[in-house]
Structure 1
Amino acid sequence: MPSSVPPGLSAPARDRGPLWLLLGGGSTAAVLVVLALLATGGGATEDAPARPATPPVAAAPAAAAQPPAQPSPAPVPSPQASPVAAVRAAPAPTAVRVSLDERRFAANDREHVRAGWVAAFYPIYERASKAYGVNWLLLASIHKQETAFSTHPTTYRGLNFARCCAGPMQFNVTNGPVSTWERYRHAHRAAARPASYNHRTAEHPSPYDDFDAIMAAAALLRDSGAGAQLDASAWRAAYDYYGHDLTGVDYASQVLARAISWGRSRFCVNCELDGGVLAAVDGSWGAPVRAEVQAAEEAAAKQRAKRARTASVR
């Protein structure tokens, strides 16, 4: 059983707003799935201490009895001196990396993590959410997807198996000049650093520091279009976060389905993905993009075959 978390954390109210957004652009099948979920009050639960409340426009969790204030509607200033350049699409992963990533994400979803360990991230999620206006459940879901809340063995050292990414939020540190991490490493300046947290490095900024990494992820997601709602823009931001290929489509749907499930019931550290919510999210937002990616791959394959035939004639 997971260990206890600091007392005084109340269970979040049901937040069904994000799922109703699925009804706007989804297929009939996706709509029926969502309606069935709402009728049954679906979503997995865990016998663990209660978590912070989630208001309709999700603010971040906190270790206090009262939820934090709603995010300010005013624009959040960038911590960088010059405007942030448009987010570049991540290069498509290789076939080997895709296969290993899929296994890693599945393992992270199943990994059992102590509730007390995850509770230490609440102040970081809160500050990142307030600073950049990004839903804290989106941040937490990516954190779980990438490193199982910073518990993966390579979280705090070296690079991942693809030799490109590092740290709790798996920032690309090798795609330079001016890597993704270099462009967002000063995002931590937008909020006060907590006095203590799970892994505070000796030097800052560091992709291995939990605060630095989560703040940078919030800034990147904000620049990719994510906001306070768990909607199509949040899905697209998660898609950009991974990269534009078929695995990226699955990644974004899993991240949003997990976040929406948490918002509908409660923040559940060790609950696996709800298949019904995943089907609704993927049917509404993932399927159209998947069709585009598949069409582009088929067109590229035809072009390669045509060039090969032309070369053989010569």
Structure 2
Amino acid sequence: MTIQGKAIAVRHERIDEASAGQRIDNWLMRIAKGVPKSHIYRILRGGEVRVNGRRVQQTYRLAEGDEVRIPPIRVAERMASAPAPAGKPLPVVWEDDALVVVDKPAGKAVHGGSGVSYGVIEQLRSQRPEARMLELAHRLDRETSGLLIVAKKRSALITLHDMMREGRMEKRYLVLVAGRWNNPLQHVKLPLYKYLTPEGERRVRVSEEGKPSHSIVRLLRRWRRFSLLEVELKTGRTHQIRVHLTHLGFPLAGDDKYGDFALNKQLEGEGLKRMFLHAASLRFRHPLTGEEIALSSPLPDELQQFIDHLDAEDAPEHG
């Protein structure tokens, strides 16, 4: 436990895609919860924070792969001493000495930050104090449910990252969109550009300035108002599925960032109170043994119940 007046040690953080594009002052405030803004700006002005070994201005926007040196920071006692709430144990669908795969519920962030005190990784660490290492191998949006890989060994984490970067991990999602999707199989290759709103919120749009992004969309079922799709990710950009499909005119049911807000309000009255996006399957070779692992997660009850509701009002067409 960190106490008032005692500082944590120097730490180094490597910036991932989820944090790239943020101003360094905003990023520091997010990861150093309980530290006064005045202190954040003081250590920036004093050059105590270094990015890739160099001083930076408070307006510097972080890039993926940047290494940030964070000096010892005094943390408020109430922020540092509060233990992660135990909560309901996370469902584990696979585990060995190198990794654990959990079935993340919707509404739970994968890690603390951006107004969230604790997420999946903090809960896992709290529930497994004997674990030497628990690190996220990838991320899911807070609103997304489904399969999430956590590495228990550094060697496994590095190999998993290589596999994802090289497209050697198959990740498939189930998604319900507004509208009637026509193509049984469609490759969506639209570059995605990440930016910040004036309020500092992260958003993504299709733009030639963005990074190459590839989704493979398969039609599973279709109703009069909606289509159930399976989306296979060939790249793993922030909000990729949501932005690709919305750009094509098929917003995700319940999406509060890119969706049809009037429709979302209507759907709440019909029983759908969350975004319909579920990380349903993973297929990859074990990062250390090479064994093939194939995992799946069924639709959560609240999503299956909405499918049943659609079936009751309108017979589905199968893709």
Say whether the fold is shared (TM-score over 0.5).
Answer: no
TM-score, scaled relative to structure 1: 0.25
User: Which structure is higher in helix share?
Assistant: 1
Choose between structure 1 and 2 for higher RCO, CA contacts under 8 A separated by at least 6 residues.
1
Q: TM-score, normalised by structure 2?
A: 0.25
